[in-house]
Amino acid sequence: MLPVRRLPGILYQRRYAILLFAVIIFIIMYYMLHWGIMCTNIETWQHVNKLCRLHQKGDAVGSLCKPLCEDKQIETLTCHAFHAGKEAVFSANWEENRMVFKASRRAKNELVDAVYWLDSQGKRRYPSEDDFSGMIRDVVSTKLNLSISNGQLQRLSRLGYTKSKEGSALRQIEMQNLWILLQDNEYLCSVLYSDRDVFPQLLGTCGGFFAVEYVEPVQPASSVLSVSDGKEAWASRIRLAVLILDLLEELETNMPEPFHLCDIKITHFGMAKGGQRLKFLDLDSVLPRTIANRATGDGSHCTKHEDCDFFDCRSRCNEATSRCDLPVTNNNFQVVCEKLFLGWTLSGTVILPGLLMSQHTPSSLASLLRQCANPDSDAGSSRAATPDDIRHRLYTTITEMDQMLSSEFN
């Protein structure tokens, strides 16, 4: 009992140390919430309540506003962490469907990207339909280096749930909501590439928020334990590797120009319904090659190669000019081999094994993975694209292993 009696006195004597510790914990939690490393459902409901207030005022429109704010059919809202590039990301259920709501930081304040301007008398002026169409084409060209068809323009210039008259108050609100959405790379890709089925399908919008289908993210291998997994688990990982390479090939060859996945994590891949293909889930850093080249070769000052990197899209610093003026030098296959298939290496030694490093990994596959991950044998992060012959050999090797293992377990 004596220690218990002494506890208030001990706490009082160390009150400053305890207070300092509490302040440090508060600061850490604040920044973890601010950076999207952790989240709470409280902030999710705050976002929804604010959105619904805008809807009640008539400032937020879209196909999902009524079921979310009036009918209360969209429920079970759950926050998602690790979304530093977004103001909000949360999932919800609507009848039998699960969806993911997203909003860019631009949706926080419409004045950041207002489609209207104020005249000399302080009255809002909105663009004509022709001017608005031109603005949309310019945004798509700037963000995706794409000239859109009239059909695509129609999809981007209207929310689809209503036929508001040109020049009406509803049309002006629709324009403002659309203009916020059009600044978001994920929204643009979801609309323009819905027919490719490589990204989650767009389900609807409300104000500056849009919702896409929920696709279950691929879970990472259990690192150290994965080295000694069973044969059946190894077969599943081989199958997953084939699906990843299939998706990379589609993004390389079946798009208007090759797309770079500049932020590659295993959880950014999701298994589509049926389990026969993958989709890429985080589109904030999915860029066509032309735009990715601009991101790394923007002419900014540099002292080392890493200064020119845009996440996983890597480039080189021009030593003669100390400027980032070179295009992306690596490709998706190199990053996937390095970060996902091979794992974390140190001085050429695998420290944390990736998806394809296991007791079942043949030496020939391990050699191919190292060539794929580091084709130019750099001491640091590789800055070269995986050559076509290595890609083809790796794909052939993995697909043959997949077919052999499939026949063994089926």
Q: What is the pLDDT of residues 318-375, one digit of tens each?
A: 999 999 988 999 999 999 999 999 987 665 666 678 999 989 999 999 999 999 999 9
**pLDDT tens sequence across 173-230:** 999 999 999 999 999 999 999 999 999 999 999 999 999 999 999 987 654 445 557 8
What is the structure's pLDDT at 162?
A: 65
Check whether 40 has a pLDDT greater than 80.
no
Question: Is pTM, for the whole model, over 0.85?
Answer: yes
Check whether 19 has a pLDDT greater than 90.
no
Domain-wise residue ranges, the chain: 35-214, 217-409
What confidence category does residue 84 fall into, taking pLDDT thresholds of 50, 70 and 90?
low
Secondary structure of the chain in HEC code, one letter for each residue: CHHHHHHHHHHHHCHHHHHHHHHHHHHHHHHHHHCCCCCCHHHHHHHHHHHHHHHHHCCCCCCCHHHHHHCCCEEEEEECCCCCCEEEEEEEEECCEEEEEEEEHHHHCHHHHCCCEECCCCCEECCCHHHHHHHHHHHHHHHHCCCCCHHHHHHHHCCCCCCCCCCCHHHHHHHHHHHHHHCCHHHHHHHHCHHHCCCCCEEEEECCEEEEECCEECCCCCHHHHCCCCHHHHHHHHHHHHHHHHHHHHHHHCCCCCEEECCCCHHHEEECCCCCCEEECCCCCEEEHHHHHHHHCCCCECCCHHHHCECCECCCCECCCCECCCCCCCCHHHHHHHHHHHEEEECCEEEEECCCCCCCCCHHHHHHHHHHHCCCCCCCCCCCCCCHHHHHHHHHHHHHHHHHHHHHHC
* CATH match for 217-409 among 2.40.70, 1.10.510, 1.10.600, 1.10.3720: 1.10.510
**pLDDT tens sequence across 270-305:** 999 888 999 999 999 999 999 999 999 999 999 999
